[in-house]
Structures are given as C-alpha cells and as structure tokens.
Structure 1
Amino acid sequence: MASTSLGRRLVACLLNVSEARRKDLVETVAKAALYDSAGVRREETTVLNIFNDHDYNRSVITIVSTIDSIREAVLSACEKACGLFDMRTHTGVHPCMGAVDLVPIYPLGEEVGVEDCAEEARAVAQGLTERVRGTSVFLFGWADSPRQRGLAQRRKEMGWFKKTADMQEIRPDVGPLPQKRFGLTGVGASPYVMNCNVTIDTQDIAMGRSIAAAIRESTPGGLPGVQVLALPHEGAVEIACNVESVQGTPPSQMTAGQPWPAFTIGGQPYYHAPASLITARVSELAGRHNVSTKSTALVGFTPHQCRGLAELALSQEIAEYWKEQRKIHM
C-alpha cells in the first residue's frame, strides 16, 4: 500500500488491560478510545484488534491514531478501564500489576519519532493520574527521561514478576502510592514491540522455562530483541515473547524462509526477529524433548501490518476494525 499523508503521522498503542473474561466490557474500553462521551466518533482513530486471553485474563487493544489524536483516545480508554476493572478481584496466570497494566506508544509513520511518542506517553501518565484519582504510573523506554530504562528492567524494579508485589514498597514515577483497586500502570514509548506467543504441547513448565531462557536476547545465541516468559496456558505451556525492534542493519541471511523485517524511524534503520524464526527455534528446542508446538499467535500485528491495516481502516472510515479481523494466527 502506498504511503499516505495520514499514514506518515500514525502511532500505535497496544493497550494491555487486566480483563478478558468479560469481553463486552473490554469492547466498551475499546469504544471509549473511538467515541467521546456524546458518542461522536474521534477523527483519525481506529481500533484494529482486540486480543482476549481467558487463561491470562488479559486483553490487548490495538489503538492507532495520528500523533495529534492519540493522547485523548488512549486517556479515554484508560479512564473507562479504571472504572470497570478492579485489581482486588482479578485472577489470571499472566503477571500484572494494574487494571490498566501497560500503555506503550510506538511510532508507525515517517514523520513521527520515538521522542514524539515519549512526550505523548508522559502526558498520558500525567493525565491518567489527574482524571482517575488514586492511579499510579511508572515510566519506561523513551518516556523514562533521561535514563530510558527498558520495560523489562522497570518491571523488575517494580516487582511485576513477583506473584504478590508489596505495593507499599513501590515508588511510582507519577501519582500516589499504588492503591489495590487500580494497581500500578506502566506507560512508555519505544520503537515497535511485537508480541509473538508460541504454545508447546506439554505441561512441563520447567521445560518451557529452559526454552524461554535459550531464546532470550540476554542468553548467548539468543534472538536479538526477544524478551520471553514461559507460562501455563490452556493445559499447555506458552512461550510468550515481547519482540523488540533493534536499531541497526538486520542479518543478511534468510531465516526460516524469510528475511528479517526492517523499517526506519526518523531515518534510522531498525529490524525485528521474524515470527517464523521464533517459532522455528522454539520448535527445534521443544523437539529435543519430543514435544511439538501447537500454535503461534501474533498479538497486535507486525509494524508493517499495523500501519497498512490502519491506513486501510482510516481510508474507509472504519473505526471498529476489530470486528473485521479479531485475531491473527500463524
């Protein structure tokens, strides 16, 4: 699809909320991004996808808008979610700390940089704590100025990976000490992060963790930009990967039949590990234990898909695009 003037100004927010079992309420949050309190549609904004996971009790809402319109769309969705979801009654196997757990903003268009997204992220963090009294935020990525600590590091610092974090020990960047109802929200900006989840046909979580460790970026021989957890999921184990975009030139060799996807932000080259390679690597490692893979799911598309679908949806004035395309499976 040819680039459009609108497309060059687009950004994405993959809004993570701690609810999936009441899908009607999650859709209510998505619609809050699209329509104001009078029901008037916000211009230049679409929701491409709602990914619900029952076991995790977590949903990811893919909101795409122009850099000029993203703030109000995201803030309205967050405000609605805080009114509907209560962390005091939440259950699910996926780690989480907030009713609105994660608010990452990514540049999609050539005329938007990561710093532009960081400015909007900081405004969202401030706006959320002002609109919903009692909400608390930690910042990550480019929004965490000047240190620019990554999401994984900030989550460790906040105790996100613990089963029961001590909220009274947490010092948020914006807002008061976290309250049990709202919990703690991460808000940040970075180059696009793709979510790729590979399910292996076993209930052996120790095996899953060994596979996760093997493909993690920090492991020698691991995959660039891949942060990963192994979690029990629907009677199996899911290798849940955050696939970060890496600055630089991608490897020249083909992997699993595909080149490494590449794009630019502010004229700088970036690339990310292809989902096919992640699937192949997990399949290879699981196969050593005579275990097969069951499926691979992308949550929120690749950067190219996200922009292309957003341009299509906006050109056809389709606000609720998720009704056209619920979920991508590979």
Structure 2
Amino acid sequence: MSGHKENPSSAERNMSSSTLGRHLVACLLNISEAHRKDLVETVAKAALYNSKGVKQERTTVLNIFNDHDYNRSVITIVSSIDSIREAVLSACEKACGLIDMRTHTGVHPCMGAIDLIPIYPLGEEVGVEDCAQEARAVAQGLTERVQGTSAFLFGWADAPLQRGLAHRRNEMGWFKKMPDLQAIKPDMGPQPQRRYGLTGVGASPYVMNCNVTIDTQDITLGRSIAKAIRESTSGGLPGVQVLALPHEGAVEIACNVESVKGDLSSHLAGEPWPSFSIDGQPYCHVPASLITSRVAELAGRQGVGMKDTALVGFTPLECRGLAEFALSHGIAEFWKEHRRIHM
C-alpha cells in the first residue's frame, strides 16, 4: 500500500514465532458493510497503521471475509495482548466515520455499524480473563472516542454473569427485524442512535464461523435443520449456535461454533475434534466436516442437496499458525499476501 512502510523492527525480526505465539489474541471484527470493498479495506488498514502511517506493533490482519447478501464483513485482526486494544479501536473509529446504519440494508441481522467485537486468546500465556479485560477497555474506549456509540458486553467481558452472545443478543432485540433502539439499555454509552446502532463487545474461547449452504429456497426447511443441530436441542452439536438465512438464491445454515472445555471427541463417533489449550486447560471444537455432514444428512432426507461450505476465517490453530508466520515475517496486510506465500 503506497504511503505505508512495513519494515519490521529488529526486535520483531529476532523474536521467534513461538515467543510471539504465546501472547497472541484474535479479534474477528464484524462490520455492517460488504458492498464497498475499498471502505472495508480502509477499516482493516486502520488496525495496522496510525493516522500518521506508522505501523502498529505486533499486529496483522489475516483475512477479510465479505458477504454481499448479508452486507457484512469479518476482519480477522491478530495482535499481542498489549497491542490489540489500540488496533481494534483504531479500526472501529474508522468504521464509525464511514458506515451509516440509517442507510444499511442486508439479510443478516445486525444492530451496529460495528456489529461485533469478539476477542479470543490464541496463546498459552493469555487467558480468557485477559481478553475480557481488553474487551471491556475497548467498549469503554469506543464510547469515549466516538461520541454517540454504545455497547453491550457478552461472554467473559460480561462480569460477573458471563452471559453468552446469543443470550445478550436476544435481550437487546438483535433477532428482531426492526429492533427498538429506544427500548435498549446498553452497558456502556448513551441510548443507541440510528447512525451507529449498538455494538456487542466480548471475550471467550475462540469461536469459528462455519456456513453451510443447501440447494433450496425453503427457509422453513432451513430453520428446521438449524434447530436440529443447535446445541440447545437434544442431539444437537456442542457449542453450535445457528441461524438459517436466505443467501444468494439458496438457504445458508450460518453457524457460530464455540470452543468447549474438555475433550468431547472421545465421546462421539467420527474424526477427532481439533483441540488446543488456554491457561493449561484443554478446549476443543466441532470440526466443520461434522457440521457439513450433519446438515447434508438432514437436507438429504427431504431430497435437498448441498451447495457448499464456507469457513469464515480460520480454525483456532490455523489462526495462530498464520499469525506467527505473518508477524515473524513482518507481514501486516497478510490478507493480500497469503495466496502467493508458500508456507
């Protein structure tokens, strides 16, 4: 990108990827814009460079996922725990200046120009409570830096209750077609305004986004499949929160795949579940292949075939591994470079 230098400091060049990895956190920043690619990339770059074009320390943007039907983008920002706050706030400030919820359209539910700021630990020396502390600071910083913004907290950031994202979204009216902003009581900031809407800020073990598209326009069928695989349903998949949404002339089963404590794969048939460690505690998550096969089975019973499966971003292990590579090589705009890099 012209006007920006990406020369890593000697400390960055000499720091081993394993040392970097032990302190890493990820933010999958959800913004309510996908039609204007340049705008989304401008927001991503704001996480990497300050207003003077100076590179943020130990920060990379691994991926930008745009969904035009949803009019929503997910920007994967990875940084050290002591740098993530400024990177995320810088991107949020830029997004608030460019996105106006009064003119937003899209089939995916949303409430804010910056709809979601989840922060996840990637390294052994970072706990979920460390991320929760940063999430609370981000929520406070956003409402102070951008007058008129407001936020609610979820997960570990929602102390002491630690209410989950789906629970908090339901409380805020996120699932309603036309949420009543005047009825909402945010945790931080003023009464939500139509210009910025409302932002969810939280922390938890890593959450993947896995979207499976079935070859039908029958949203009722899609909802029945979503209900069948949802964690809260008997026989559902652990950690899976799911919506069925119309998408590009078909139906998408859009899943948030939460990491769950322990190792559940030994209790369930099929391939081993990917696992990782936080604060010395084991966590695992449902593999995307299992979600896909379960959806395919349920749809097939109704004579409906599959179209495709999309992983929005990465698994926890992929995210950490790519971030270590990007940071050890001084690649800030990794989303531009990864297709040509041989790792």
TM-score norm. by structure 2 comes to: 0.93
Quick one: distance in 2 between partners of 1:172 and 1:26? 26
Structure 1: gaps (5+ residues): none
- The equivalent residue for 2:97 is 83
Tell me if 1:309 matches 2:327.
no
- Aligned pairs for 1:243-262 (under 5 A) are 243-252=257-266, 256=270, 258-262=271-275
Tell me if 1:324 matches 2:337.
yes
What code does the residue aligned with 1:318 have? I
- Aligned pairs for 1:50-129 (under 5 A) are 50-129=64-143
Quick one: distance in 2 between partners of 1:94 and 1:291? 23
Tell me if 1:210 matches 2:212.
no
What code does the residue aligned with 2:60 have? T
Kindly provide the CA deviation profile for residues 194-245 of structure 1, in whole angstroms up to 9, marking residues without a partner as x: 0000000000000000000000000000000000000000000000000000
Kindly provide the CA deviation profile for residues 48-104 of structure 1, in whole angstroms up to 9, marking residues without a partner as x: 000000000000000000000000000000010000000000000000000000000
Moved over 2 A (4+): 253-256
Kept in 2, the 8 Å contact 1:138–1:185? The answer is: yes
What code does the residue aligned with 2:325 have? L
Tell me if 1:43 matches 2:43.
no
Q: Which secondary structure does the structure 2 equivalent of 1:186 belong to?
A: strand
- The equivalent residue for 2:179 is 165
Kept in 1, the 8 Å contact 2:17–2:328? The answer is: no
Picking from 289, 298, 309, the partner of 1:296 is: 309
TM-score norm. by structure 1 comes to: 0.97
Kindly provide the CA deviation profile for residues 231-271 of structure 1, in whole angstroms up to 9, marking residues without a partner as x: 00000000000000001122216755x31111111011111
Kindly provide the CA deviation profile for residues 148-169 of structure 1, in whole angstroms up to 9, marking residues without a partner as x: 0000000000000000010000
Quick one: distance in 2 between partners of 1:143 and 1:53? 28
- The equivalent residue for 2:276 is 263
For residue 309 of structure 1, report the CA deviation from its aligned partner: 0.3
Kept in 1, the 8 Å contact 2:17–2:325? The answer is: no
Tell me if 1:199 matches 2:222.
no
Kept in 2, the 8 Å contact 1:110–1:264? The answer is: yes
- The equivalent residue for 1:133 is 147
- The equivalent residue for 1:152 is 166
Kindly provide the CA deviation profile for residues 294-321 of structure 1, in whole angstroms up to 9, marking residues without a partner as x: 1100112000000000001111111000
Q: CA RMSD in A?
A: 1.1
Give the aligned length: 324
Tell me if 1:190 matches 2:204.
yes
Structure 2: gaps (5+ residues): 1-15
Kept in 2, the 8 Å contact 1:253–1:259? The answer is: no
Quick one: distance in 2 between partners of 1:297 and 1:316? 28
Kept in 1, the 8 Å contact 2:225–2:295? The answer is: yes
Q: Which secondary structure does the structure 1 equivalent of 2:283 belong to?
A: strand
What code does the residue aligned with 1:262 have? S
Kept in 1, the 8 Å contact 2:71–2:106? The answer is: yes
What code does the residue aligned with 1:199 have? T
Picking from 19, 22, 44, the partner of 2:33 is: 19
Q: Which secondary structure does the structure 1 equivalent of 2:30 belong to?
A: strand
What code does the residue aligned with 1:270 have? Y
Q: Which secondary structure does the structure 2 equivalent of 1:36 belong to?
A: coil
Quick one: distance in 1 between partners of 2:152 and 2:80? 24
Quick one: distance in 2 between partners of 1:164 and 1:304? 37
Kept in 2, the 8 Å contact 1:201–1:293? The answer is: yes
Identity %: 81
Q: Which secondary structure does the structure 2 equivalent of 1:238 belong to?
A: strand
